[in-house]
Amino acid sequence: MRLHDPDSRTFASDNYAGALPEVLAAIADANGGHQISYGEDVYTARLGETVRAEFGPHAEVFPVFNGTGANVVALTGLLPRWGAVIATGSAHIHTDEGGAPERVSGLKLLVVPHQNGKLTPEAIETEAWGYGDEHRAQPLAVSITQSSELGTVYTPAEVRAVADFAHERGMAVHMDGARIWNAAAALNMPFAAFTTEAGVDVLSLGGTKNGLLGAEAIVVIDPDRVDGLTYLRKLSMQLSSKMRFASAQLLALFEDGVGLRAARHANAMAARLRSGVEDLPGIAFSTPTQANSIFAELDPAAADRVRTRYPFYDWDRARRQVRWMCAFDTTEADVDGFVAAVREALAQPVLA
């Protein structure tokens, strides 16, 4: 039974897209017969081998249901009860997870200013103090997002600068990789180049935004930094009984370059969209377009006119800022139609 138009497209979120055909095929291949539950299956074992090949021989992988679960469980494993995490004010763990890191884990978030969505050593330093003070939550981890919530991508050098600064002060480094495939595609580098080799200790490995049905994972790059994930995943309600289906989805992204091709396409569509409208009067851009999102500024009335045909979100309506997202299934025709709608909306007179 189909209840929606399969040809509908929006520029609201890559979460709106369906699943990659290769992912659906992987789920079907994993079906049938019996496999041991709770991660003792052959698909999860193969995922472990793949993750070690990508992130290093000591890496461990823990599939979970969603990105919030990955972030919360990972940060809980990094910190003692009195720990705090330094992140940007735009970080997903601060703005879009309903307080879950603080409510579920009990940790404290310390938010700092950012540069185009990126955390810097200078920003971390503003909150990296009070060690040994019993009146202050102890800053013991930092969290960066790759690609960032504003669509920018950390270079390996930028990750290394953050990691070195954090490690020198006894802090661990977490990466929220909800769109890590888009970052890898933009950098044209293997994952290890901007994670393991750059000093990241634990990673939330995204998949849902790149064509999975609902599977993410925690990748522990440095097991000495993290404690108790085997137990924390269960008590945080993120342990799947039929884990083979989550693992099979994640494996599908790694096999034959499927995940990178999907991410490269989404990034290319975002670049096409920006180039199609950046010469128009009445439009400006808030940040560089480096992955699959565009942050533009235009008159709210014009934005609302475009939205009658192509839904998308206001990011900050007071600043006239909107976000346009491309996905693995965004086509050139979709982009060209959207560009035409933006041009048409901006050509109409602005009412006083």
- The CATH number for 298's domain is 3.90.1150.10
Give the residue from 223, 256, 289 where a domain finishes. 256
For residues 337 and 195, membership in a common domain is answered with no
pLDDT at 349: 72
For residues 194 and 103, membership in a common domain is answered with yes
On whether residue 7 sits in a domain, the answer given is no
On whether residue 9 sits in a domain, the answer given is no
Domain that holds residue 211: 21-256
Identify which has the larger pLDDT, 21 or 115: 21
On whether residue 5 sits in a domain, the answer given is no
Percent of the chain with pLDDT over 90: 95
For residues 237 and 312, membership in a common domain is answered with no
Residue 173 reports pLDDT greater than 80: yes
pLDDT tens digits for range 201-232? 999 999 999 999 989 999 999 999 999 999 99
On whether residue 6 sits in a domain, the answer given is no
For residues 111 and 213, membership in a common domain is answered with yes
Question: For the chain, what is the domain count?
Answer: 2
Lowest mean pLDDT among 42-46, 270-274, 343-347: 343-347
Give the residue from 256, 278, 312 where a domain finishes. 256
Which whole number is the average pLDDT over 238-251? 98
Residue 299 CA: distances (Å) to CA of 314, 325, 349: 11, 19, 11
Q: Give the Cα separation of 100 and 88 in Å (integer).
A: 16
On whether residue 311 sits in a domain, the answer given is yes
Helix ranges, the chain (H): 21-30, 42-55, 67-78, 92-95, 100, 121-125, 156-168, 180-187, 191-194, 229-235, 243-254, 258-277, 300-307, 332-347
Angle between the N-to-C axes of helices 258-277 and 243-254, in degrees from 0 to 180, rounded to the nearest 10:
60
For residues 57 and 171, membership in a common domain is answered with yes
For residues 308 and 189, membership in a common domain is answered with no
Which whole number is the average pLDDT over 269-274? 98
pLDDT at 111: 97
For residues 158 and 304, membership in a common domain is answered with no
State pTM to two decimals.
0.96
For residues 138 and 199, membership in a common domain is answered with yes
Mean pLDDT of the chain: 96
Q: Taking the alpha carbons of 53, 262, 69, 116 in that order, is the dihedral positive or negative?
A: positive
Residue 352 reports pLDDT greater than 80: no
* Cβ-proximal residues to 85 (8 Å cutoff; 6+ apart), any chain: 75, 79, 93, 101, 107, 108, 109, 110, 139, 140, 141, 142, 143, 174
